[in-house]
């Protein structure tokens, strides 16, 4: 089914406020709520479509991505397809919104769905989540990247197309007569207790497969491989977890895929040290350059940059290249870049020959090489300012 524009689904304008969006979704939810439309597949589809639209538009970050990139902006992280979800999942996500709407109050109200007796939705199995640790270079972190991985995971059995049945047939469960649950009557200290439990024979499906698939043994999934492409946004950091919905293992019997969780491992860079979203470079100047000034090259993530050293630059001086750092990956300042911080050191020769020693001794006697009291005071003020 081709997806409709989320704003169109909820019937709101592109610039609609959060309140307008919430109100529009509530109206749709009341109209197409399964309690009001029992057994109506079209109403359920509409309800799910509205829920998916609401899930995106209520979240400022997802909404911004959707406004900018459309559905493509959501496929990487944080998007979900409500049509693949069962109603229980939806109510557990948005249950609080339905409170006080005449459906018996939130999630508990869902108990009444379907009349409290026969269930009309089969359980949907969720596949296993997969975890993956991925190395990223500083360059990949600054610019963002796309990578492909070959994952070993559960995939849908091609022999039975996920049904789990060798001949495509299933029959009504003899234990629960198709209802998916059984009533147990137990003697307890409170007297006879009747409890409802998921049918142990069909695990709530209401049907059993007599002739199980020879490839998957009736599970509908087998171990296999899949190539998964993952988009890494710019600005990630070590130990962050990137969630990629639906890229984990396949669910049993055509259930819902699990998720793929990617743990970011940031590789150390040879020249630049990361400090939050800033990058720090330690620039080592020869003594003559610090004294006389000049132009020097420094590495940045975008290549080399030229900076001017003013005559008489002190060791410990800090220069900033604005916006040459790492972009903020999420939150209020999303996309805003840090700086490259250049810390200036001056190299002191560790060995000198006789001639060099004489030159330095000569300099030591020279007037401008002796720090006066007023110069010491000035440098002390600068030093103290670091701690403010």
DSSP secondary structure letter of residue 225: E
Quote the CA–CA distance of 213 and 91 in Å, as a whole number: 34
The stretch near Zn ion (CB under 5 A) out of 84-92, 136-144, 170-178, 374-382 is: 170-178
According to the binding rule CB under 5 A, does residue 209 interact with Zn ion? no
- Taking CB under 5 A as the criterion, the residue among 216, 260, 262, 272 binding Zn ion is 216
Q: Under a CB-based contact definition with an 8 Å cutoff, are residues 6 and 67 in contact?
A: no
* Closer Cβ to Zn ion, 201 or 377, answer by number: 201
Coil, strand or helix: which one is 347? strand
* Closer Cβ to Zn ion, 87 or 173, answer by number: 173
- Taking CB under 5 A as the criterion, the residue among 28, 53, 141, 160 binding Zn ion is 160
Report in angstroms how near the CB of residue 128 gets to Zn ion at its nearest.
Answer: 17
Coil, strand or helix: which one is 270? coil
* Closer Cβ to Zn ion, 24 or 256, answer by number: 256
* Closer Cβ to Zn ion, 201 or 358, answer by number: 201
According to the binding rule CB under 5 A, does residue 166 interact with Zn ion? no
| Vertex 150: Cα angle to 148 and 154 (nearest 5) | 130
Site string for Zn ion, 171-190 (x = CB under 5 A): --x-xx--------------
According to the binding rule CB under 5 A, does residue 167 interact with Zn ion? no
According to the binding rule CB under 5 A, does residue 53 interact with Zn ion? no
- Taking CB under 5 A as the criterion, the residue among 202, 230, 256, 279 binding Zn ion is 202
With contacts defined by CB under 5 A, how many residues of the chain interact with Zn ion? 12
Q: Under a CB-based contact definition with an 8 Å cutoff, are residues 316 and 305 in contact?
A: no
Both tokens assigned to 195: 């409890």
Site string for Zn ion, 6-35 (x = CB under 5 A): ------------------------------
- Taking CB under 5 A as the criterion, the residue among 58, 119, 159, 212 binding Zn ion is 159
The stretch near Zn ion (CB under 5 A) out of 5-13, 95-103, 127-135, 201-209 is: 201-209
According to the binding rule CB under 5 A, does residue 250 interact with Zn ion? no
Report in angstroms how near the CB of residue 172 gets to Zn ion at its nearest.
Answer: 8
Report in angstroms how near the CB of residue 202 gets to Zn ion at its nearest.
Answer: 3
Contacts of 221 (CB under 8 A, 6+ apart): 127, 154, 155, 156, 157, 162, 249, 250, 251, 252, 253
- Taking CB under 5 A as the criterion, the residue among 20, 35, 67, 215 binding Zn ion is 215
Quote the CA–CA distance of 326 and 144 in Å, as a whole number: 10
Report in angstroms how near the CB of residue 89 gets to Zn ion at its nearest.
Answer: 22
- Taking CB under 5 A as the criterion, the residue among 28, 141, 213, 236 binding Zn ion is 213
According to the binding rule CB under 5 A, does residue 157 interact with Zn ion? yes
Report in angstroms how near the CB of residue 157 gets to Zn ion at its nearest.
Answer: 3
Please state at what angle helix 60-69 crosses helix 41-57, rounded to 10 degrees.
100
Q: Under a CB-based contact definition with an 8 Å cutoff, are residues 32 and 103 in contact?
A: no
The stretch near Zn ion (CB under 5 A) out of 77-85, 112-120, 192-200, 248-256 is: 192-200
Residue carrying the six token digits 């940045």: 300
Which residues does residue 153 pair with via DSSP β-bridges, in sequence order?
Answer: 224
Q: Distances in Å between the alpha carbon of 253 and those of 104, 124, 193, 248, 379?
A: 32, 8, 34, 15, 74
Quote the CA–CA distance of 294 and 307 in Å, as a whole number: 9
According to the binding rule CB under 5 A, does residue 344 interact with Zn ion? no
Q: What is the CA radius of gyration of the chain?
A: 33
Separate counts of helices (H) and strands (E) for the chain: 10, 15
User: Interface residues with Zn ion (CB under 5 A)?
Assistant: 157, 159-160, 173, 175-176, 199, 201-202, 213, 215-216
């Amino acid at each position: 089914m081709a997806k409709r524009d989320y704003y169109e689904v909820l019937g709101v304008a592109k610039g609609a406020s959060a309140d307008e969006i919430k109100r529009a979704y509530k109206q749709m939810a009341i109209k197409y709520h399964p309690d009001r439309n029992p057994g109506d597949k079209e109403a359920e589809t509409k309800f799910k479509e509205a829920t998916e639209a609401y899930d995106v538009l209520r979240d400022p970050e997802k909404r911004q991505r959707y406004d900018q990139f459309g559905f493509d902006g959501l496929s990487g992280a944080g998007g979900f397809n409500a049509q693949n979800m069962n109603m229980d999942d939806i109510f557990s996500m948005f249950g609080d919104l339905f409170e006080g709407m005449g459906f018996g109050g939130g999630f508990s109200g869902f108990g009444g769905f379907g009349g409290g007796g026969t269930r009309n939705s089969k359980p949907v199995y969720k596949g296993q989540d997969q975890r993956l640790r991925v190395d990223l270079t500083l360059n990949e972190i600054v610019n963002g990247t796309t990578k492909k991985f070959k994952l070993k995971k559960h995939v849908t059995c091609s022999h039975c197309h996920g049904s789990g049945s060798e001949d495509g047939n299933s029959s009504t469960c003899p234990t629960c007569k198709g209802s998916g649950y059984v009533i147990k009557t137990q003697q307890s200290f409170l007297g006879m207790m009747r409890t409802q439990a998921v049918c142990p024979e069909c695990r709530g499906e209401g049907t059993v497969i007599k002739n199980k698939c020879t490839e998957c043994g009736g599970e509908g999934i087998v171990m296999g491989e899949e190539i998964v492409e993952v988009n890494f946004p710019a600005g990630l950091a070590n130990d962050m977890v990137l969630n990629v919905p639906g890229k984990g293992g396949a669910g049993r019997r055509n259930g819902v895929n699990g998720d793929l969780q990617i743990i970011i491992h940031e590789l150390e860079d040879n020249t630049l040290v990361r400090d939050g979203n800033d990058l720090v470079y330690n620039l080592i100047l020869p003594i003559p350059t610090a004294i006389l000034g000049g132009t020097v090259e420094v590495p940045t993530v975008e290549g080399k940059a030229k900076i001017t050293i003013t005559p008489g630059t002190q060791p410990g001086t800090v220069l900033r290249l604005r916006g040459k750092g790492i972009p903020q990956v999420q939150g209020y300042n999303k996309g805003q870049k840090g700086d490259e911080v250049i810390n200036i050191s001056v190299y002191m020769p560790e060995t000198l020959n006789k001639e060099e020693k004489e030159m330095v001794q000569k300099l030591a006697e020279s007037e401008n090489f002796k720090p006066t009291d007023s110069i010491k005071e000035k440098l002390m003020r600068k030093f103290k300012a670091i701690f403010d």
